[in-house]
Amino acid sequence: MAADHLEAAGLEVLDRNWRCTHGELDLVASDGCELVVVEVKTRRSTAFGTPAEAVTWRKLARLRRLAAAWLSAHDEHPQSVRIDVVAVTVPRRGGPQVEHLKGVA
Amino acid sequence: MALGRTYAVALVGMRAHLVEVEAHLAASIPAFSLVGLPDTALSEARDRVRAAVVCAGLTWPNRRITVNLSPATLPKSGSGFDLAVAVSVLAGAGLLEAGRAAPVVHLGELGLDGRLRPVRGVLPAVAGAVAAGRSCVVVPSANADEARLVPGADIRPADHLAQVAAWYGAEVEVPDVMAVADTTVSPVTLPEADLADVLGQDEARRGLEVAAAGGHHLLLVGPPGTGKTMLAQRLPGLLPDLDADASIEVTAVHSVAGTFDAAQGLVRRPPFEDPHHTATPAAIVGGGSGVARPGAASRAHHGVLFLDEAPHFAAAVLQSLRQPLEHGELVLHRSAGAARYPARFQLVMAANPCPCGRFAGKGVDCTCRAEARRRYFARLSGPLLDRVDLQLEVPLPRSAVAPGESSRQVAGRVCAARDRARARLGGTRWRTNSEVPGPWLRGHMGRKDPVATELAHAVDRQWLSLRGADRVLRVAWTIADLAGAEHPSAEHLGEAMVLRTRAGVL
């Protein structure tokens, strides 16, 4: 669903759930000449905070390391790299809400 | 672009600076940062504001929030920015009409429940906002009385953050809360004691009257139990009410010091401060980390600073009074900037004649050695004693003396004398005889005047130093004002000399 949202926003999804020894990247996409590393966070309710709040600085640092690992493993040469967060809230009633936060770090 | 802005006021000492509070909300990982040199209390505003907004029934924007306090180079302190920070964030989030909140100044601390708590220094802050052209000010209701003392200010007292948000069109239910009461400990105001309580001591009473009329600094020397402290405490009762400007100045100092009770309105009576003799320099001249707060000397601005047992004060404390005695203000430099407080007080010191206190009259009961007596007063002498125009001996009174005049009678004469002095000094920046420099006084008398001749004579015979002559002349003018005379006569000069003289010291 997050991938659909990104593609609707005009991004091209390159990879999903890519794993290496450091951890996992949820989505890797390209936005023109920019590589976008996407973290997808899903919550059922906001009682314990919004999904975006669950992305800590430590998590962002790991995403940066993983982005470098992904680039060295693939033959892609983007001009710049960006980290986005897609926050998905799935309430009990009603459809899921998707929020795309661009360039968080 | 999600940007909200409003105004607050930063106080550095008594100087108010209008601060623009801007909030930028970015679509990113939720965070809240506060920039613009906040101190610890102000940094904690982040947590208070967040809790208050949620408790007020509003949604906390899920954004990366940056609040800037501009000018960003001015160090800011205290909790008084909470309301402005909250309003700017809500305006940036579009939860209230940004255009209506932007031109208003917001002062006040927020409780976690969203209630507005009173802050110190509201009077100078509101005055600063009005002077900067922002007359519409939201204040906590506990500070409303104080804020309304500023002429030209449009004060909106508020109890709760939700109430403020609702004014700007936020869709929020205003909870029915009890306003936070002002917690300022109001100084204990004793009913002004009456001079009629002092038995006997005609000379000292006369000296007190002269001191009140001319604003002269005063030293009272006498054995224990003769009424030195009683006399000093009755000096404020002889002084006239403060005029409008002085009243606002004094109130502002007490507002910053946190010793002002707004329920009683502007401070109109001259304040009286009597610090204990163990006081530190910081307690007297003002101190504290960050920006220094006013001390006893500033709180006694336009009033009386009474040092009981003056020789027991630490030498550093007595020396620290030289700057305010000279300039009438105190400049205190601390890490967060220099605070400037007015400190134009009338100094009254009381002392025993010697360490054992019995060196009165012929001094037969005294057990002190001559050297100990000398050393006792050596602490006071020098630059400090130089500025004391009146030095009075308070002897042991005789029994069964009739009570003297009441404060009201004496205050009437003092007021008349001050009016005469003011009329004469009209057009100058001095108000009382004690402030006038010697050359001006001499210049207004003429060289041929018998008083001038007599003074010159006394100087030639080395009875008086030149500085001492100026001081005697100042007192003589005050005595002439009290007597309703145009000019001091030889008789007035004689009395001035007697009032200056303590145990033959001129």
> B30 contacts in A (CB within 8 Å)?
50, 52-53
Tens digit of each residue's pLDDT (9 = 90 or more) over B236-279? 989 998 888 888 889 889 888 888 777 677 788 899 999 999 99
Percent of chain B with pLDDT over 90: 39
Q: What is the pLDDT of residue B344?
A: 92
- When the pLDDT of each residue in chain B is averaged and rounded to a whole number, the result is 86
Q: Is A105 on the interface with B (CB under 8 A)?
A: yes
Which is higher by pLDDT, B385 or B89? Answer: B89
Rg, C-alpha atoms of chain B: 28
Question: With an 8 Å Cβ cutoff, are A50 and B62 in contact?
Answer: yes
Tens digit of each residue's pLDDT (9 = 90 or more) over A29-39? 998 888 999 99
Tens digit of each residue's pLDDT (9 = 90 or more) over B211-240? 999 999 999 988 888 888 889 999 998 999
Tens digit of each residue's pLDDT (9 = 90 or more) over A11-33? 899 999 999 888 899 999 998 88
> B62 contacts in A (CB within 8 Å)?
50, 52-53
Question: With an 8 Å Cβ cutoff, are A85 and B62 in contact?
Answer: no
Tens digit of each residue's pLDDT (9 = 90 or more) over B327-354? 888 988 887 778 889 999 999 999 988 8
**Mean pLDDT value across residues B293-308:** 93
For residues B359 and B122, what is the distance between their CA atoms, to the nearest angstrom?
Answer: 50
Q: What is the pLDDT of residue B111?
A: 93
Q: Is B30 on the interface with A (CB under 8 A)?
A: yes
Q: Is B62 on the interface with A (CB under 8 A)?
A: yes
Which residue is listed with tokens 């707060």? B293
CA distance A104 to chain B (A): 5
Q: What is the pLDDT of residue B502?
A: 63
**Mean pLDDT value across residues B158-187:** 82
Q: Is B33 on the interface with A (CB under 8 A)?
A: no
A-B contacts at Cβ under 8 angstroms: 21
Q: What is the pLDDT of residue B167?
A: 94
The contacts found for B37-40 with CB under 8 angstroms, 24 or more apart, are B37/B69, B37/B72, B37/B73, B37/B74, B37/B75, B37/B76, B38/B69, B38/B76, B38/B77, B38/B81, B39/B75, B39/B76, B39/B77, B39/B78, B39/B290, B39/B336
Question: With an 8 Å Cβ cutoff, are A50 and B28 in contact?
Answer: no
Instruction: Tell me: pLDDT of B438 over 50.
Output: yes
Best A85, A101, A102 residue to mutate vs chain B (most B CBs within 10 Å): A101
> B61 contacts in A (CB within 8 Å)?
none
Tens digit of each residue's pLDDT (9 = 90 or more) over B26-53? 888 888 999 998 888 888 999 999 999 9
Instruction: Tell me: pLDDT of B1 over 80.
Output: no
For residues B106 and B452, what is the distance between their CA atoms, to the nearest angstrom?
Answer: 60
Percent of chain A with pLDDT over 90: 32
CA distances, B22 to each of A32, B55, B114, B215 (Å): 34, 22, 20, 49
Q: What is the pLDDT of residue B298?
A: 93
Residue B505 confidence class, pLDDT cut points 50, 70, 90: very low
The lowest-confidence range among B57-66, B79-88, B387-396 is B387-396
> A99 contacts in B (CB within 8 Å)?
27
Residue B399 confidence class, pLDDT cut points 50, 70, 90: low
Question: With an 8 Å Cβ cutoff, are B29 and A85 in contact?
Answer: yes
Residue B191 confidence class, pLDDT cut points 50, 70, 90: low
For residues B250 and B301, what is the distance between their CA atoms, to the nearest angstrom?
Answer: 6
**B130 phi-psi bin (left φ>0, alpha ψ -120 to 50, beta other):** alpha
CB B270 within 8 A of CB B236: yes
Tens digit of each residue's pLDDT (9 = 90 or more) over A45-103? 878 888 888 888 888 899 999 999 999 999 888 888 999 999 898 888 888 888 888 88
Q: Is B59 on the interface with A (CB under 8 A)?
A: no
For residues B62 and B41, what is the distance between their CA atoms, to the nearest angstrom?
Answer: 24
Instruction: Tell me: pLDDT of B185 over 70.
Output: no
